[in-house]
Structure formats: C-alpha cells, structure tokens
Amino acid sequence: ENHTTATTTMPKAEKGSPKDIANRMKAKGLQKLKFYCQMCHKQCRDENGFKCHLTSDSHLRQMKIFRDNAPGIMDDFSAEFEKGYVETLRRRHGTQRMNANNVYQEVIQDKHHVHMNSTKWTTLTDFVQYLGKKGICVVEETERGWYVTYIERDPTLLARQEAQRRKAEADQREERLAAERREVLRMEAAKALDRAGGVVERKASEIGERKGD
C-alpha cells in the first residue's frame, strides 16, 4: 500500500511587513547585539539559539582559551573596537563635530565589528571619555549626548593643511596690499583733480580780471 505524505508550504511574508523586515535582517546578520558571541564570532538569531551556542563544545573550547588569557584577549578586542570607531569617524567625517552615538550606529552596521561588551569599556560614555583623555578626540557632553571631534595627526595631511593655511594668509595679505594700493591711487587722483581744478579756477579769474580792465 502506498502512502502519500502531504507537505505544507508556509506562505511567504508580505514584502514590507514586520516579518519580512525581520527575515531580511536575519539574512544580513543584523540581529540583536546581545545574541552575538565575540569569542566565536557567532551571531545567533534569538535567545534560544544563543543559549544553545553557549553550551556547545566549540564555545566551551573558546572560553577555556579566554580564561587562560583574559586580559590579553580583552585588550585585543578593545584595540580593534577603538580602531574601527576612530577609522569610521576619521574617514566619514574628518574633523567635523559629530554625535558619538551616531558614529557608533555607523560602526555596528558592519556585522563583523567588535562588540563593545567584549571590550574594557562598559558604556559608550566610558569609551568617549577615554578618547578625550588619550587626546584622540575633543569630547563634549551636551543635553543631546556626547559629541566627538577627531584630532587630525597625520603628518602628510597636517602638512597639506598648513600649506593651505599659509596660501590663504598670503592671498589675504596680497588682497589687502592691493586694496591699499588702490586707495593710494584713488587719493592721488583726487588730489590731482583738486590741483587741476585750482589751476582752471585761477586762470578763469585772471581772464575775468583782464576783461574787466
């Protein structure tokens, strides 16, 4: 006797619906950060998957490596996170004053970024204050949060900026001298006209006197 097994196909989520957006986020690896294991570079889709990962043999092996060298590994993660954040700030925004959290949101768009909970900084505020103390950025706390301004230290770029500054100053100085020369010429022309007017007036007076005689 033949038995036929029926299969049911789940309907595809409507494009633009919350389920469709969630599915596309999963496909891109943009799940919640708390379900990411930095040691294993493993992104889990939900809490259940994350719990399963934490009990896996591969994770337990990685955690043993971490226990044997926790300070060194955390320092490496911290250095990598710092590099990623500063590079994003420098390359995308230069020395423009930026909201620190907005820059952080740009950083975490890369699903391979180092997560902050794997670093020595507990919060973004701690990290921003570190950037200020280290002299990497000018940091400022406002009502709208922390702001950071990258301090450019690249010798080549600094030299180019200095050359541009000197050229701008030279151009301004030349324009100022040109304006002064134009003013001198204008004053000399006015004096010449005054002298010419005086001569004409004197000659007219002399002609008038001769006619009176």
| pLDDT in the model for residue 194 | 74
**Residues sharing a CB contact under 8 Å with residue 138, sequence separation 6 or more, in sequence order:** 132, 148, 149, 151
Q: Are the beta carbons of 121 and 127 closer than 8 angstroms? A: yes
| pLDDT in the model for residue 68 | 67
Q: Are the beta carbons of 56 and 50 closer than 8 angstroms? A: no
Q: How far apart are CA 137 and CA 151, in angstroms?
A: 5
| pLDDT in the model for residue 28 | 41
pLDDT tens-digit profile, the chain (213 residues): 444 444 444 456 565 444 554 454 444 433 445 676 666 667 767 778 777 777 777 777 767 766 766 677 788 889 999 999 999 999 999 999 999 999 999 998 887 788 887 889 989 999 999 999 999 999 999 999 999 999 987 666 556 666 777 888 888 888 888 888 888 888 888 777 777 665 556 665 666 666 655
| pLDDT in the model for residue 72 | 79
Q: 142 — phi, psi (to 5°)?
A: -130, 180
| pLDDT in the model for residue 169 | 82
Please state the three-class secondary structure of the chain as a single string: CCCCCCCCCCCCCCCCCHHHHHHHHHHHCCCCHHHEECCCCEECCCHHHHHHHHCCHHHHHHHHHHHHCHHHHHHHHHHHHHHHHHHHHHHHHCCCCEEHHHHHHHHCCCCCCCCHHHCCCCCHHHHHHHHHHCCCEEEEEECCEEEEEECCCCHHHHHHHHHHHHHHHHHHHHHHHHHHHHHHHHHHHHHHHHHHHHHHHHHHHHHHHHHHC
| pLDDT in the model for residue 210 | 60
Q: How far apart are CA 36 and CA 81, in angstroms?
A: 15
| pLDDT in the model for residue 7 | 42
Long-range CB contact pairs, 193-197, < 8 A, 24+: none
